[in-house]
Amino acid sequence: MSLYLVAAEASGDLLAREVAEWVRRKSPGTEINGIGGAELAAAGITSPIDIAPLSVLGFVEGIKAYGDVVRLADAAADDICKRRPKVVVLVDSWGFMLRVAQRVRARDPSIRLVKLIGPQVWATRPGRAATLAATVDHLLCMHEIEAPYYEPFGLKVTVIGNPALTRSGKGDGADFRARYNIGADEPLLLVLPGSRRSEIVSVAPVLMDAARQVKRGLPAVQVVVLPAGPIQAEFAQRFPDAPEWARIITHPDERYDGMAAATVALACSGTVTSEVAMQGAPMIVGYKTGWITWALARGLLYKKVHITLLNILNGDREIVPEFVQTKLKAEPIAGKALEWFKDPAEHTAQQARQNTALSALVRDGKPAAEIAADAVLAELQLAQRPLIGT
């Protein structure tokens, strides 16, 4: 049996690796190839193309990168059709994966297509449900609220839960602090600057400025920055002085330990916010995109008030403070962080608010990646069956 995984961004690359590892545990004889980044490479799956140009953000930015998206979609489809896997799993990255799926479907309809993580039809553009249903054979989505959008179109849907909430369990914060000689009672501010190049340009400078302001207001605070793998070089270029006042941790295996060690976290909006919530640190979320993208999203597309998943899926209420677009400024972010550092009661109250909200999102049972692997293996079995009459 042969399987092909495609991942275009950091969060999808990590999930693709986890699914590949579960597939190997359950079906060691399965041949796995794929396109991705450092995570898939760490699993021994070498990508035939460089996915770095796909780290874009927003509508206008996406238009600027459209040539790269089309070129890489063509290259991905070429490699898939050359290898002729039984099943292809397309992880996250809606626009790029849709193009890959359409190209593969047109050239080789025998290949079964699985979309792992669907577009956020519950928040914006529900019409994408029909588009996806017409293109792939099976959707593996995170939340129960997504499934009804696909029922009218007959697409097979499996709810796997949020991978960030079932991933790796609790990090070892005490061990992380010991490794870096940070005392158990020392305040630790964690900065998660984003996973895309555009986020390092638009969001990271504000979060890093806020962290410096916290450091000035509370000199005892230890600042730790965890730049995601795909943007580490870009981060180092843009913030060359950061190692002078912060610890820059680049090894992916320290990710959850660092989150668990944090007293407070400043995070660029994305999958990472759910991961931080799972580790228990009170967090502040920042985000900014291009103005045309923002105007289109707010005016025509996006139907929710908030952008952080923990807020959206808890009645669209602000449980996690958000500083978005015009509100993305270092001073109020630093002020909120200092409030939590200096007031233990408020820090504890924020932890309690997040934990209560989190409890509504965690699915019992297997890790999301294992549920996804089971569904993928079932698709491989279907693909192995001979056609009736042959």
pLDDT tens digits, one per residue of 273-290: 988 998 999 999 999 876
pLDDT tens digit sequence for 100-154:
999 999 999 999 999 999 998 876 778 899 999 999 999 999 888 899 999 999 9
Q: At 163, which helix (H) or strand (E)?
A: none
What are the structure tokens assigned to 245, written together? 């006042």
The 8-class DSSP code of residue 134 comes to T
Residue 281 contacts residue 265 (beta carbons within 8 Å):
yes
Phi, psi dihedrals of residue 324, rounded to the nearest 5°: -120, 140
- Amino acid type, 222: Q
Which pLDDT score is estimated for 364?
62
Asked whether 283 and 267 are in contact (CB, 8 A), the reply is yes
Q: C-alpha angle with apex 344: 340 to 347, nearest 5 degrees?
A: 45
DSSP state of 49: S
Burial group, residue 84, by CB count within 10 angstroms (0-12, 13-18, 19+): exposed
Q: Which CATH architecture has domain 2-166+365-384?
A: 3-Layer(aba) Sandwich (3.40)
List the one residue out of 367, 278, 273 whose CA is nearest residue 311.
273
Q: What global pTM score does this model have?
A: 0.68
Axis crossing angle, helix 10-26 with helix 368-384, rounded to the nearest 10: 60
Residue from 273, 272, 286 nearest 330 by CA: 286
Residues of the chain with CATH 3.40.50.2000: 2-166+365-384, 173-359
- Supply 244's token pair: 């002078």
Which fold would CATH assign to domain 173-359? Rossmann fold (3.40.50)
| pLDDT given at position 300 | 47
E-strand ranges in the chain read: 2-7, 31-35, 87-91, 112-116, 138-141, 156-159, 188-192, 222-225, 247-248, 264-268, 283-287, 322-324
pLDDT per residue rounded down to tens, the chain (390 residues): 899 999 998 889 999 999 999 999 999 999 999 999 989 999 999 999 988 777 654 444 555 567 788 999 999 999 999 999 999 999 999 989 999 999 999 999 999 999 999 998 876 778 899 999 999 999 999 888 899 999 999 999 999 988 877 775 789 999 999 999 999 999 999 999 998 888 999 999 999 999 999 999 999 999 999 998 878 999 999 999 999 999 999 988 899 999 999 999 999 988 789 889 989 999 999 998 765 554 555 544 455 677 777 888 777 788 999 999 889 999 999 999 999 999 999 999 999 999 888 876 666 678 899 999 999 999 999 998 664 444
